[in-house]
C-alpha cells in the first residue's frame, strides 16, 4: 500500500475512533464541570446503551430508533439517580460521590447481566451503512465514515446547545460559579439533573454506535471507563473543547501507535496522559483544580 492511501485510511480510522471516544468523554466532562463529580458509573451507562440498543434493534428492526431510545433510557435512569440520591449529597465531600457511583456501577452491571445474560450480543450495522467504499482501491467500511460524521454532527450540536440555548448558558454559568447562578434565582438543581441525564445519555449514544464494532458485552463498561477518564483528564476536566481535542489525540496515538509500535500499544495512552499532566497539570484546556 502506498503512503498516501495508507495515511488517508488510517486517518479516517482514527477519526471514527475519536468520535466514539468523544461520546464517551464529553458526558463525563460535562458532569464534572457542573457537579464536580467523578462519575464512576459512566462506563456502565455506555454499556447499558449498547444493550438497550440491541433490544431496540431486535424488536423494531431499526438502528435509528435505537440511537434515540438508548440515550433516552440511560438519560432517564441517570436523571432519576441524580434526583433520588445525588441530590442529597451536594453538601458532602467528593468521597461520597465516588462511593455512591461505585455502588451504582455494581448494581447496574448486575441488572444488565440478569436482564441480558452473559453472552455477547451482535448488533448489525444498519443496511444503509453496511457497504464499503473504495479509497485508492482499498475497501473501507461506510459505517466508519458514518461514525466520523456522527462525531462531527454531535460535537457541533453540543457546542450550539451550550452556546445558544438557555440551559446551555446555565450549564456554562453553573460550571463557572454555581452560587452566583443560584443567587440569580435559577434552579441549579434542575440544571444538575438535566446535565447528569444528558451526560449519561451521551455515553449511551456512544454505546449504541460502538455496538456494531465490538458487540454488546459485559466487558464494555470496565474497558470504557478508563478510556473516558483518560479523555477527560487529557482534555481538562470540565472542558467540552478539551474532550474533543483529547479524543482526536488519543485516537491518533492509538491508531498510529498500534501500527508503528505495537509493543507499546498498552502504555502509549498512559504515557500521553502523563506527559500532558506534567506539562499542564489541569489538562490541555482545564483550569488546574
Partner 1 sequence: MPLLLLVVAALLAAAPLVLPVFVLTLLTEALILGLFAMSLDLMVGYTRLISFGHAAAYGLGAYGAGYILLHSATPLPLAILAASLFAGVVAVGVAWVCTMATGVSFSMLTLAFAQLLFAIAFKWTSVTGASDGLAGIPRRAGPFGLTVFETKVGYYELALFCLGVAYVFCRALVNAPFGAVLRGIRENEAKMLSLGYNTRLYKIAVVAISFALGGLAGALYSPFAGFANTDLVYWLFSGQVLIMVIVGGQGTLLGPILGAAFFMLVQQVLSKWTESWALFFGLIFIGFVMFAPEGIWGLLSRWRVRA
Partner 2 sequence: MPPRAGLTRRTILQTAAAAATAPVVIRPASAAADPIKVGMPLALTGPVGSVGGQLRRACEFWAKQVNAKGGLLGGRPIQLLIEDTGGNPATTVRKAQEMVERDGVRLLTAIAASNEALATVPKLAEWDAIFVSGDNGDGRLTGESLVPNFFRPNVSGPMGTRTVALWLRDSSLKSFYALGMDYAWGHNSIDVFKDEVKKAGRNFIGDVYSPMGTKDFSTYITKIRQSGADAVYLVLSGDDYNAFLSQAKQYRLGDKVTMLTELVDEMVLQATGDASLGLVGGSRYPNTLDNPQNKAFVAAWKAEYGREPYMFEGDQYQSCVVMQAGIEKAGSIEAAKLRAALEGLTVNSIKGPITIRACDHQAEQPGFVVKVEKDETGKPVPKVIATYPAAKVTPPCNKMTYND
Chain residues that interact with partner 2, rule: CB under 8 A: 1, 6, 9-10, 13, 16-17, 20, 110, 113, 118-122, 124-125, 130, 132, 138-141, 143-144, 210, 212-215, 217-220, 223, 254-256, 258-259, 262-263, 265-266
Count the alpha carbons within 13 Å of 21 in the hemisphere toward its beta carbon: 30
Query: Among 11, 83, 96, 241, which residue sits at the site for partner 1 (rule: CB under 8 A)?
Result: 96
Q: How far is the CB of 35 from partner 1 (least distance, A)?
A: 13
Smallest separation, CB 122 to partner 2 (Å): 5
Please choose, out of 127-135, 153-161, 240-248, 261-269, the segment that lies near partner 1 by the rule CB under 8 A: 261-269
End-to-end CA distance of the chain: 46
85 is in the binding site of which of partner 2, partner 1, none (Cβ under 5 to 8 A by kind)? partner 1
In the complex, least distance from residue 95 CB atom to partner 1, rounded to whole angstroms: 5
Nearest to partner 2 of 42, 144 (CB atom): 144
Cα(32)–Cα(280) distance, rounded to whole angstroms?
A: 18
Residue 192: name its binding partner from partner 2, partner 1, none (Cβ under 5 to 8 Å by kind).
none
| Least distance CB 205 / partner 1 (angstroms) | 24
Site for partner 1 in 223-252 (CB under 8 A): 226, 229, 233, 237
Say whether residue 127 binds partner 1 (CB under 8 A). Answer: no
Map the footprint of partner 1 across residues 4-23, applying CB under 8 A. Answer: none
> 270-275, long-range: CB within 8 Å, 24+ apart, which pairs?
270/230, 272/234, 273/230, 273/233, 273/234
Smaller CB distance to partner 1: residue 80 or 133? 80
Q: Least distance to partner 1 from the beta carbon of 128, Å?
A: 38
Cell numbers linked to 54: 440491541
Longest Cα–Cα distance in the chain? 62
- Quickly tell me which residue has 473501507 as its cell: 140
Q: Select the binding partner of residue 13 from partner 1, partner 2, none (C-beta < 5 to 8 A, by kind).
A: partner 2
- CA atoms of 121 and 215, how far apart (whole Å): 6
Residues that bind partner 1 (CB under 8 A): 38, 40, 85, 88-89, 92, 94-96, 98-100, 102-111, 113-114, 222, 226, 229, 233, 237, 263, 266-267, 270-271, 273-274, 277-278, 281-283, 288-289
Amino acid at each position: 500500500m502506498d503512503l498516501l492511501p495508507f495515511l488517508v485510511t488510517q486517518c479516517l480510522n482514527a477519526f471514527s475512533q475519536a468520535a466514539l471516544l468523544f461520546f464517551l468523554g464529553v458526558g463525563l466532562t460535562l458532569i464534572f464541570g457542573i457537579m464536580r463529580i467523578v462519575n464512576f458509573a459512566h462506563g456502565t451507562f455506555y454499556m447499558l446503551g449498547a444493550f438497550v440498543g440491541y433490544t431496540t434493534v431486535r424488536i423494531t428492526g431499526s438502528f435509528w430508533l435505537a440511537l434515540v431510545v438508548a440515550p433516552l433510557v440511560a438519560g432517564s435512569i441517570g436523571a432519576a439517580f441524580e434526583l433520588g440520591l445525588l441530590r442529597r449529597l451536594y453538601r458532602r465531600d467528593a468521597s461520597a460521590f465516588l462511593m455512591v457511583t461505585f455502588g451504582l456501577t455494581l448494581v447496574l452491571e448486575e441488572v444488565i447481566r440478569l436482564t441480558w445474560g452473559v453472552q455477547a450480543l451482535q448488533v448489525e450495522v444498519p443496511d444503509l451503512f453496511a457497504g464499503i467504499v473504495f479509497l485508492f482501491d482499498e475497501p473501507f467500511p461506510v459505517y466508519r465514515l458514518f461514525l466520523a460524521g456522527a462525531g462531527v454532527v454531535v460535537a457541533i450540536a453540543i457546542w450550539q446547545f451550550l452556546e445558544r440555548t438557555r440551559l446551555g448558558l446555565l450549564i456554562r454559568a453553573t460550571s463557572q460559579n454555581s452560587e452566583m447562578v443560584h443567587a440569580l434565582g435559577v434552579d441549579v438543581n434542575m440544571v444538575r439533573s438535566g446535565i447528569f441525564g444528558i451526560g449519561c445519555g451521551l455515553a449511551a449514544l456512544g454505546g449504541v454506535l460502538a455496538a456494531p464494532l465490538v458487540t454488546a458485552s459485559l466487558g464494555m463498561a470496565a474497558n470504557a471507563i478508563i478510556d473516558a477518564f483518560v479523555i477527560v483528564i487529557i482534555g481538562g476536566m470540565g472542558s467540552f473543547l478539551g474532550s474533543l481535542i483529547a479524543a482526536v489525540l488519543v485516537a491518533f496515538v492509538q491508531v498510529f501507535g498500534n501500527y508503528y509500535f505495537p509493543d507499546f500499544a498498552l502504555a502509549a495512552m498512559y504515557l500521553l496522559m502523563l506527559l500532558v499532566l506534567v506539562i499542564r497539570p489541569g489538562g490541555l484546556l482545564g483550569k488546574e483544580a
